[in-house]
């Protein structure tokens, strides 16, 4: 029997069209399922945006509730030439007067003149840090400092000796100085303060001393023993180390540097110049500086603005996906959805609630007003005025009353957003429900497709069998007709 390769050849029927139309009827439920799947996918996408915006709201609220956001401080000085002030978050808002009576200085000395480029003289130079307690009368060596000895050869110049001193890292810095005709050795203590003084003692090799000079002894500095070679002929070449002396609100403070720390918590004062012309003398001119520590709410206000932006983005999305367009008679993706409408209702309710513990109770009190569309408008003038009362503005957002109804708004919105996004929360449950609907829809589409494929295969088998049967009958009919014709001819 011949094989039927195309439906309808054997029967003469348009079997292919019949099968195609019957299968299309079987697949007809796919259209509604696909339409429903597209809608659910749009819902899932929109709901993903909602979750992202709730997360952004939680972050913005967390930033507002952070203590560091409200702890910034500014420091200012009425006399920036005399003192600068830096503050940390631990500083309390305050102001105080500052008199700078004396700056901290390092000890510095200059040697007697030495012929330019000539050797100074052989011997040993000994450095020792310490404190000149009563000017050039008593020197108290520092307990933590040992003598530093430098061997000086007969060929060493001032520059060579300066390099050797600096190589010892002894706390004394040496510089070779030329005044145009002669060399001098300049020595300066690395640190300021009375305790950073130093002495220079020398042991001179006798055979290195000529009749014209005192050899290495010209570099000595030890008024306590009467050796004063470093000063040479100029008394102004000696500067003793001094501590800084100042008065904060009239109370005396001292420091071995020009940086005052620890006197006022969180405040560091850098002394730059004296403010008293003749401290302790009749007729002294008092020009104290006023130093001020104030709250810096710049970051806090920026965080409030970021919160409003995050809130409005979420509020607008919720409004858009739950509205009904009267003009087009079209419902949005979640129009009438109890979960989404509930989120919108709770969000608006929290924005309209009150917070206890502050001079301000409502967001509207600081310029954040809820509009009819659910968003918040921001009156920057009113918010700026509230920022001048930074502590109360902070309480409005961060007051922890152990009561979700009356806590600060930052805590309220953070708790709301985290609750929505938490396991078992509205967002989690709604998201899982939508994913479940889509999964079942896809499974149903697969069942319809499989059922249609099975149906098509059965139809094609049946119509193929019909074609084969009809082809066989047609062949039999032709054979019978041929035999009848032949018989008729033979009998005529």
Q: How far is CA 328 from the centre of its chain?
A: 47
pLDDT for the residue 378: 94
CA distance 374 to 307: 15
Q: Which of 407, 413, 386, 398 is nearest to 297 (CA)?
A: 386
State the virtual CA torsion across 119, 125, 130, 135 in degrees, nearest 10: -50
pLDDT for the residue 137: 61
SS3 236: helix
pLDDT for the residue 315: 95
Strand partners, 172: 189
Structure token pair of residue 328: 């087009």
- Residues 262, 263, 269: CA angle, nearest 5 degrees: 85
Q: Which of 182, 166, 194 is nearest to 218 (CA)?
A: 182
Q: Which of 118, 106, 96 is nearest to 213 (CA)?
A: 118
| Residue 295, C-beta contacts closer than 8 angstroms, at least 6 positions apart | 72, 73, 74, 93, 390, 391
**How many other CB atoms are there within 10 angstroms of residue 183's CB atom?**
20
CA distance 416 to 402: 15
Q: Is the CA virtual torsion 8, 14, 18, 24 positive or negative?
A: positive
String of b and e for 109-121 (b: at least 16 CB within 10 Å)? Answer: bbbbbbeeeebbb
> Can you list the residues of the chain whose pLDDT is less than 70?
1-14, 134-137, 145, 206-214, 225-236, 277-286, 467-468, 470-480, 483-485, 491-492
For residue 101, the number of C-alpha atoms closer than 13 Å in the C-beta half-sphere is 17
DSSP state of 212: T
Q: Which of 456, 483, 486, 429 is nearest to 47 (CA)?
A: 429
For residue 454, the number of C-alpha atoms closer than 13 Å in the C-beta half-sphere is 6
DSSP state of 345: H
Per DSSP bridges, beta strands 244-248 and 94-102 are antiparallel
Helical packing angle, 298-322 and 338-351, nearest 10°: 150
pLDDT for the residue 227: 59
Dump the DSSP string for 388-433: TTHHHHHHHHH---S-TTTS-HHHHHHHHHHHHHSTTSHHHHHHHH
Report in angstroms the alpha-carbon separations of 242 from 103, 190, 196, 395, 405: 7, 13, 9, 47, 61
Helices (H) and strands (E) in the chain, counts: 10, 21
For residue 179, the number of C-alpha atoms closer than 13 Å in the C-beta half-sphere is 11
353 in Cβ contact with 411 (< 8 Å): no
| Residue 334, C-beta contacts closer than 8 angstroms, at least 6 positions apart | 43, 46, 321, 322, 340, 341
CA distance 116 to 157: 9
334 in Cβ contact with 340 (< 8 Å): yes
126 in Cβ contact with 148 (< 8 Å): yes
Is residue 295 exposed (0-12), middle (13-18) or buried (19+ Cβ within 10 Å)? buried
- Residues 213, 123, 228: CA angle, nearest 5 degrees: 55
The 10s digit of each residue's pLDDT in 183-230 is 999 999 999 999 999 999 888 876 655 544 568 888 888 877 655 566
pLDDT for the residue 191: 94
CA distance 444 to 441: 5
SS3 120: coil
Q: Which of 248, 300, 238, 235 is nearest to 89 (CA)?
A: 300
pLDDT for the residue 484: 67
pTM for this predicted structure: 0.65
């Amino acid at each position: 029997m011949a094989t039927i390769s195309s439906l309808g050849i054997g029967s003469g029927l348009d079997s292919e069209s019949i099968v195609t139309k019957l299968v299309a009827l079987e697949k007809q439920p796919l259209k509604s399922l696909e339409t429903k799947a597209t809608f659910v996918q749009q819902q899932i996408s929109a709901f993903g945006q909602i979750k992202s915006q709730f997360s952004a709201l939680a972050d913005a609220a967390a930033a507002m509730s952070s203590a560091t956001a409200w702890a910034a401080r500014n420091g200012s000085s009425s006399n920036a030439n005399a003192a600068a002030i830096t503050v940390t978050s631990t500083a309390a808002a305050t102001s105080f007067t500052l008199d700078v009576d004396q700056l901290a200085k390092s000890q510095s000395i200059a040697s007697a003149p030495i012929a330019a480029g000539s050797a100074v003289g052989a011997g040993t130079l000994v450095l020792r840090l310490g404190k000149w307690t009563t000017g050039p009368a008593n020197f108290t060596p520092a307990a933590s400092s040992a003598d530093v000895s430098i061997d000086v050869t007969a060929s060493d110049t001032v520059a060579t000796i300066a390099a050797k001193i600096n190589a010892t890292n002894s706390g004394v810095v040496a510089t070779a100085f030329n005044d145009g005709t002669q060399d001098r050795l300049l020595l300066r203590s690395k640190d300021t303060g009375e305790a950073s003084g130093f002495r220079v003692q020398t042991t001179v090799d006798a055979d290195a001393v000529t009749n014209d000079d005192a050899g290495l002894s010209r570099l000595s500095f030890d008024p306590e023993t009467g050796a004063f070679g470093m000063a040479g002929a100029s008394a102004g070449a000696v500067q003793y180390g001094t501590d800084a002396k100042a008065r904060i609100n009239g109370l005396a403070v001292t420091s071995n540097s020009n940086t005052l720390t620890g006197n006022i918590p969180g405040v560091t004062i850098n002394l730059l110049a004296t403010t008293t012309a003749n401290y302790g003398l009749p007729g002294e001119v008092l020009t104290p500086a006023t130093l001020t520590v104030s709250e810096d709410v710049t970051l806090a206000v920026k965080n409030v603005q970021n919160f409003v932006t995050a809130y409005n983005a979420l509020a607008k999305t919720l409004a858009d996906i739950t509205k009904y367009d009267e003009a087009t008679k079209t419902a949005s993706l979640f129009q009438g959805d109890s979960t989404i409408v509930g989120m919108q209702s709770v969000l608006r309710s929290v924005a309209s609630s009150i917070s206890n513990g502050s001079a301000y109770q409502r967001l509207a009190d600081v310029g954040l007003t809820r509009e009819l569309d659910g968003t918040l408008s921001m009156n920057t003038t009113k918010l700026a005025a509230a920022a001048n009362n930074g502590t109360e503005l902070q309480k409005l957002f961060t007051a922890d009353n152990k009561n979700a109804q009356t806590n600060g708004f930052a805590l309220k919105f953070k708790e709301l957003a985290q609750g929505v996004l938490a396991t078992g929360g509205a967002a989690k449950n709604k998201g899982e429900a939508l994913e479940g609907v889509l999964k079942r829809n896809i499974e149903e589409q697969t069942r319809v497709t499989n059922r249609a494929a099975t149906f098509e295969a059965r139809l094609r088998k049946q119509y193929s069998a019909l074609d084969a049967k009809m082809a066989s009958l047609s062949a039999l009919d032709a054979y019978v007709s041929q035999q009848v014709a032949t018989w008729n001819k033979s009998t005529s």
